[in-house]
Amino acid sequence: MYTISVINQKGGVGKTVTTVNLAAALKEQGHEPIVIDYDPQMNATDWLLGREATDEDDTIFDALATLDGEDADAFSLAHIVRTSDAVGVDFVPSDRRMAAASFDSVVGRSAVFPQQFRHRVQELRTAQVSTNSVSSKNYDYCLVDCPPSLGRSIATALAGSDGIIVPIHADRFSMRGVSQLQKTIKQIRQVHNDGLRILGLLPNNLDLRSGMVANMKDKFQEVYDDILFDTFIRWRSKINEAATHGKNIMEYDTDAADFYRSLAEEVTERAQIATAA
Ligand SMILES: Nc1ncnc2c1ncn2[C@@H]1O[C@H](COP(=O)(O)OP(=O)(O)OP(=O)(O)O)[C@@H](O)[C@H]1O
Ligand SMILES: [Mg+2]
């Protein structure tokens, strides 16, 4: 199983849309993806669950917080995974306790915590998962929808990931954000996970009719050519609609779905190359 965190410290750049739509595209192409919502905003959870989560729903926070306790098995990812009726992929919900403040107070051991997500992901690699709809599965891609931050919770997600996808807007501030992000990734590699790779930067929300955006696209290609995906996601109202109404983009709009089909192909190709390297 190849684990990919979708990150960017900037809010609203398309992390959640990328995570969910990429999962739907991978599923369509015969893969078995699982989405983990790591964001206390719970946007992916609402989308995939088709309703607001309640306290009854088991979440990624439960999985992390119980790791050293008697309940460790009951809250393994394999036991709390669900299947999304809306999008047809499996997922693990998030909850509000994933916000940084509670992270510190509940777990309180920064030296250990980065390993906990990794441990849960490792378990999932070998687990035969039972869900409501499928008796047993082996996931091949795990996609982690991260909150807009570069703080502690991101460090834990990255410590357990093989690759990173970074959705970005084509503007000058986003370019600055990328160098900040590269610094963080370097630190994570040194301290927690030397296998972590940037799978790619994914320009999102492009409106090429705007001359400024077209210029920025060229600039991105010049500066980040080695890590840029060939796939660019254009601005499409249907992408926003599918997210807002909790739909599967593959069924909702063919034109928009094609962006994610192309991304899924690139991701699988790059993940294989990264694994072989
Ligand atoms: N290519 C696109 N075309 C049209 N709308 C888009 C596109 N990408 C994202 N959006 C819309 O932009 C908004 C932000 O997207 P999204 O929630 O995926 O960003 P995010 O990075 O996950 O945000 P946050 O940092 O708050 O978690 C959403 O309303 C989404 O539907
Ligand atoms: Mg989001």
Averaged over 178-200, what is the pLDDT?
91
Q: What band does 133 get if pLDDT is binned at 50, 70 and 90?
A: very low
pLDDT at residue 174 above 90? no
Averaged over 27-40, what is the pLDDT?
97
Pick the closest to residue 40 from 145, 178, 159, 113 (CA basis). Answer: 145
Q: 209, 37 in Cβ contact below 8 A?
A: no
Q: Is the CB of 163 under 6 A from ligand 1?
A: no
Pick the closest to residue 78 from 100, 95, 63 (CA basis). Answer: 63
C-alpha 70 – ligand 2 centre gap (Å): 32
- Of residues 109 and 218, the one with the higher pLDDT is 218
Proximal ligand: closest to the CA of 21: 1
Q: In the prediction, which pLDDT does 257 show?
A: 98
Q: Is the CB of 14 under 6 A from ligand 1?
A: yes
- The best mutation among 240, 252, 260, 263 to test binding of ligand 1, ranked by most ligand atoms within 8 Å of the C-beta, falls on 240
Q: 134, 27 in Cβ contact below 8 A?
A: no
C-alpha separations of 32 from 75, 77, 166, 186 in Å: 21, 15, 22, 30
Of 7-21, 97-111, 243-257, the least confident: 97-111
Q: Is the CB of 12 under 6 A from ligand 1?
A: yes
Averaged over 146-171, what is the pLDDT?
91
Q: Is the CB of 255 under 6 A from ligand 1?
A: no
pLDDT at residue 276 above 80? no
Q: What band does 125 get if pLDDT is binned at 50, 70 and 90?
A: confident
- Which residue type sits at 3? T
- Spatial distance between the Cα atoms of 95 and 87, rounded to a whole number of angstroms: 20
Q: 63, 93 in Cβ contact below 8 A?
A: no
Q: Is the CB of 195 under 6 A from ligand 1?
A: no
Pick the closest to residue 185 from 1, 7, 10 (CA basis). Answer: 7
- The best mutation among 7, 8, 16 to test binding of ligand 1, ranked by most ligand atoms within 8 Å of the C-beta, falls on 16
Q: Is the CB of 146 under 6 A from ligand 1?
A: no
Torsion sign, CA atoms 69, 73, 74, 75: positive
Q: In the prediction, which pLDDT does 175 show?
A: 81
Q: 81, 123 in Cβ contact below 8 A?
A: no
Q: In the prediction, which pLDDT does 110 show?
A: 43
pLDDT at residue 136 above 70? no
- Spatial distance between the Cα atoms of 51 and 40, rounded to a whole number of angstroms: 15
Q: Is the CB of 233 under 6 A from ligand 1?
A: yes
Q: pLDDT above 90 covers what percent of the chain? A: 60
Averaged over 71-80, what is the pLDDT?
90
Give the β-pairing of 90-92 and 82-83: antiparallel
Q: In the prediction, which pLDDT does 265 show?
A: 98
Q: In the prediction, which pLDDT does 94 show?
A: 96
pLDDT in tens, 205-257: 988 777 777 787 788 888 888 899 999 999 999 999 999 999 999 999 999 99
Q: In the prediction, which pLDDT does 103 show?
A: 56
Domains in the chain (CATH in brackets) are: 2-276 (3.40.50.300)
pLDDT at residue 107 above 50? no
Q: pLDDT above 70 covers what percent of the chain? A: 91
C-alpha 168 – ligand 2 centre gap (Å): 13
Q: In the prediction, which pLDDT does 105 show?
A: 46
- Spatial distance between the Cα atoms of 195 and 198, rounded to a whole number of angstroms: 10
Structure tokens of 189?
A: 């590699």
Whole-prediction pTM: 0.94
Q: In the prediction, which pLDDT does 209 show?
A: 76
Going by alpha carbons, the residue nearest to atom 23 of ligand 1 is 12
Pick the closest to residue 21 from 37, 42, 35 (CA basis). Answer: 35
Pick the closest to residue 197 from 210, 205, 185, 209 (CA basis). Answer: 185
